[in-house]
A and B are shown apart, each in its own frame.
Chain A
Amino acid sequence: MSTESTQAIEEAASAWLIRRDSGGWRPPDEARLQEWLKASSFHRVAFWRLEQAWEEAERLKALGAGVEGHQPPPRGQWNLTPFFDSPDQKVRLEDDTAVDVQTDTSSEAPDEKDRVASIGRDVAAAGLVPIRKARLKTHRPRRILVFASAASVLLAVAAGLYVWFNPSGDRYATPVGGLASVPLRDGSNITLNTATEVHVALTGKERDVELAHGEAFFEVAKDAKRPFVVNAGKKRVIAVGTQFSVLRDGDDIRVIVSEGTVRIEDRVARSGAGPQPPALPLTAASSPDAVLLSAGSVAHAGDAGVLVQKETPSETQEQLSWRTGVLMFRDQTLGEAAAEFNRYNERQIVIQDPTIASLKIEGNFRATNVDAFVRLLESGFPVRATESDSQILLTSN
């Protein structure tokens, strides 16, 4: 423990930081600063922390670009839209995140930059490794991002997320066992579960997401003028500002609403005869097949219709626990649990014996730690596991 108070150290650190930039900083001053930094780890980390924030503050320039004179803009009146065009959009890509670019397109598309930046940050944050190094440098000031608008660009990362940028919409995909969070430009956020692919197209009129396969959780930023539409199989799910997940298995979908209201309805078949009609506002009377779902609803929808169950908030949260990489089982059969694990792992659990499959289990598990699950089964149940590279066969003991 340090004998100085945290506050006193922070004060001292701020004094060093500002004095260093004040002009008239000489080698003896630098020597004294270094001495102070060396005196305690608490000094050093406090200084770095403030220094980082102070460096970041320079990004205010991006907001001050159009501001005349010396006065800062009035509070709350920031023009945040053209930020991507800022001269000081310092992105993570610059320092260490090499990103794999598999096309050689080179036209200017400034708004791609923002997207790349945010993805780059995601990648950096998740500690992922680029497959091939092709350093994407963004120089300041005022760099031009050489990026595609004509062809699509694939950003591939090893563990979490595959990303393709394309003028008609972006594609994001996770591998088996993957989990990734994708912030969208409208402020919404999509969390992709294992083996999932979504296509995102944001336009002025609509926010359109195609769930090609898998499961995703949507946190929708409120925008009454632009409904957020998730297309999955023959259904579409429409929201304005809410939180819900959609799981797709062929044409069957399961929708869990954890906040707000969504509408689920049939998707007009795309017969090539033009686009489907725009999504109506949530409150508007719509086709008879539409079903409104409120928070706590779990809907199973398929050709046969829509089945809605009501759950308590804690039950829905359990069902959405995959967002933290955890599977929660309450009074489920081993067969159901095995099927769930098989979504997250290449190595599949195989149960041929129905008496084993109907065993009831309960507990929380890491979705990708199938080994721990199997070991626990062996110790607690009359079950024996025979493992190979591709599967784990469970038989009765």
Chain B
Amino acid sequence: MEAIWEILTLRQASVRKRFRKRLKGSLPWYPFIFVNIVVFLVFNFAPWLSMIETSLHETDLLSTKKFVGLGNLERMVQDQHLHRAILNTFQFVFMYVPVLVAISLFVAILVNRPLVGMKFFRALYFLPNVTSIAVLSLIFWRFFSPRPEAPINYLLGLLGIPPQKFLVDVNQAMPSIVAISLWEAFGYYMVIWLAGLQGIPSELYDAALVDGAASWKLHRYVTLPLLRPTAAFIIVVSTINALQVFGSIFILTGGGPVYATTTIVYHIYQQAFNFGRIGYASSISIFLFFLVLIITLFQSRYLRFGEEVY
């Protein structure tokens, strides 16, 4: 009995000794991550806790704070405007992502050749992406003006199309926002496509040419299959970004006309800062988080399917 006890205490002592040694080795490293940890605690961890807490309350942060339990969830189920916002967001995603993928790939194939001036064009196409959405919106609010002499309407007029209302039309506002977003983003995804294209060994093209493949067949049977991982990445990233579209909508349409461009993030913003429903906005934020998470997991699994074929 005593022997066992002795062994136990000995072992404990050795564990403690090892731990103390480990701690001694650890301490000098903590200052290196100190700032990161503080920023993480204040701007990520604390907001997470507060998000869960406030989502159970009805509060405007000033005067009222009432515990409502799952009342906010109930409200989400009944909130017609939220449903509209979710539909609008998916409408945006389904208009934006496929066209973006196609255009950026097309442009990438276009500029992926050692021709004179190619570097200039690549840089030019990337330019909208480094420009702030506020600047772009300032420009495009003028371009998409409903006046017949405004730039886009003038160009349409040259094609014989009558003036359109664009951002102030219920049916055209969302497609207009999509067009601006496409214009802004295609250069970024072009660069990612280019990285993928340049990763394809040129021997594969030689082999296909020797086998007598036409140039469009080269792309169909060599380029596209080998770009599948790049495509998966681009679809996931652009979908996540599209689900969070906000800046251009806030600046250009303010969610209107008649809720036509109210997206999830815009709805969160409105509930929190126009109506003072912080608790409810927190609940929708949690919903948005899970939405993004689910779509990320689903897409990365689904799109990876079939990779082993190549």
A and B part of one assembly: no
* Interface of A toward B, CB cutoff 8 Å: none
* Interface of B toward A, CB cutoff 8 Å: none
